[in-house]
Structure 1
Amino acid sequence: MTTPSDPRAPHYLAALTARARYPLGPPVTLELNRCDGPYGELAALLSRHNGLTAFNAGLQVFRAGAQGLGPDLQTWNDPQTWKHTYEGLADGLLCFAQDLFGVQFALDTEARVVRFDPETAERTVLGDSLEDWALWLLADPDVRGARAFATSWQDRHGALAHDQRLIPWRLFTLGGTYEDDNLAVKDAAQCMRIRGPLAQTLHALPDGADFHMTPTPPPSDPDLLSHHELEAFADYSTLLIQDDQARLGEPEPVWFATLAANWINTAPGIIGIGAARPFDVPVTVDVRRTPPADDAERQQADHVTEAGLTLPSGRLLISMQDFDDELPRISLAPGTYAVRIYSHGLRTVSEDGLEGEDRYHVVLWPTDEEHPAQVLKRYPEPLPGG
């Protein structure tokens, strides 16, 4: 085995930096909490070249210090920047670089260099040194360093800013493609926060398990990001569409009275909707980039309501105050959404309210506008289930 002082030792890290552009920040003398193995190598690298890009900016090594281009090492690794959305799955990692799509390169607590997949939170050990990491990258820079795609993207669209990355609308893990219409340019930290909640779901699946919650959207509707088919228990003929961390508590009776009258009411992080029967009912959820175009479904539905919903956790739950771990959560980018609910088949419900073919279609899309609870189309007869 060779050592850095051995003249026969490979100098892959030097070969990598020789083809890089640097620095991204002013000169620093970096000291880390650890100096063993790759930690010492990283401190030395950033003290020589404070941040760099390589492979036509397909690879970015973060700078150190408060000034410069792109993310800085300390802020990027602050839990509140993006790691909190992974709820422990990114703990113990010092992320020092990323590729064009936000794949992280990090040092773990065992002083190993690892590749961290932002979509699944899977860690792949690349070696025990930055030399090993550089060798791995140089073995296939077009793929491992995203050089080929970075080059073709910049040729078509121009260079990204240093604080931007590419993120797929439909994640690669779930069948998303590398076509332009499936890619968006976003702030690098936002890209990580978007994927954190979904990574929690995918990481928890056993090997070989199928993930059915998000099938590929039909080609006829490219703005459909995900489609989910659920059975939800409508206790007291009521369902709550809510952020996973929100709790209704015990609202005033008038809250439920309004809900029964209109089949819509809201509380912080919660939308209450009515259902025709107090049993398991079919609920379809579609997440879109944009509102429904011509909204032909409004003409077909019996009753249509709408409200705004804030989802700080990035996990959507549909139930009636049931938070069992077995209930499916729908992972979304944290933010504010408009939610439209189409209720179908109300005329099929039997007089005793026990049988029927009622179904409920929930459509969400991100919004910056206010969406007060309202009835867009009212069922002409008394609403069942009250």
Structure 2
Amino acid sequence: MTVTLPPTDATTTLAMQELYRYLHAHPELSMQETETSAFLTRRLDELGLETFACGGTGVVGVLRNGVGPVVAYRADTDGLPIEEETGLDFASVARGTLANGTDVPAMHGCGHDTHMTVALTAAEHLATTRSARAGTVVFIFQPGEETGAGAIAMLTDGLWDRAPRPEIVYGQHVWPGLAGTIDISSGVAMAMADSWKVTVHGRQAHGSQPDQSIDPIVLGAHMVVRLQTVVSREVHPMQAAVLTVGTFHGGLKENIIPATAEFTLNVRTFDSDVRTRVLDSARRIIGAEAQASGAPEPTIEVLSTFPRCYNDPASTAQLITELRGTLGANAVLDVPPVMGSEDFGLLAEAIGVPSVYWMFGGYSRDTLDASDTVAGNHSPHFAPDSEPALAAGLTAALTAILSRVGAPASSLGGTA
């Protein structure tokens, strides 16, 4: 069907801006989104949706409107441990606490404030235009996307036992592209990701007596260097994989060889067999380097695991046609997958229905033309041009939802 959207009027634009500014200024870290959850619930209740808490700080809003299809739309809600440097007059000064007890600044440095704003505005539009459609929309405000904990928490808490089961799940993400454009992949859209913390065990000694030690810093350094050969020498050149060591910590003083050192690594792959090979090779290298140094077996702690994000090809092709109808023929690009990761795919996979996930641009043409580079997601400078980004995000969200529930109830044999 062809989706026809009403123009975004000045009142809607102003309301979105106010909502966005509030959410941007009040980020909360993953699985700690207590105030955000309460705010979302109040807004959804005011719109007349059925709401319930799910997965700790997750919120679900169900908008029923007669007999018709059931569609789910997901927006993530958590911020990041980043000190904001945007200079915005509504910049975040919020702080949060990491799992290890460390007090840190908090920022919506990935754009989840944008996602919540779009989802709430879409819910408001649908709640006030019931006569134009029929069916049920399940709005999922998911916590903990940044840590990969949120989707599984909601599923474990009985998301699909408590909410109507949809025929498809949609979601989108702002990124540093041109506002008004969409990037979407058919099939594999985003990579699987696995993160580990590796603790290297040695033997402490005075810096003047290295012969009395097993130096975990030297040992760890060998592991880090050798791990770089996994992708370059063990993965087929036509297959994709990334292995990154992101942190390395060891010792407290320059003349003490410490007892332990630790580093974290992150692996990203598109293919399950490649993932298995890379992770197995990493374990082999870590263990073998310890054995070569006469050290105890290292401790490997799994920090997070993100699933592959897969866009159902038929549903993606249908949505591309609809999005080109509302945003323009040249505004929607079918692109290769990206190495970023998401836990979004679990929501549909858990009940065996298709899902489609896409990226929408966050910067105006003027902003992009004014600089060779613009801040990307997870940057302390990330500040999308909210007015055009929100308008395009809202258009995309409503296009997807209304492509399924846009038919009036009378045409489906039901009542509104």
Superposition TM-score tier, normalisation by shorter sequence = under 0.3
Scaled by the length of structure 2, the TM-score of the pair is 0.24
TM-score by length of 1: 0.25
More helix by share: 2
Greater Rg, structure 1 or structure 2? Answer: 1
Larger relative contact order (CA 8 Å, sep ≥ 6): 2
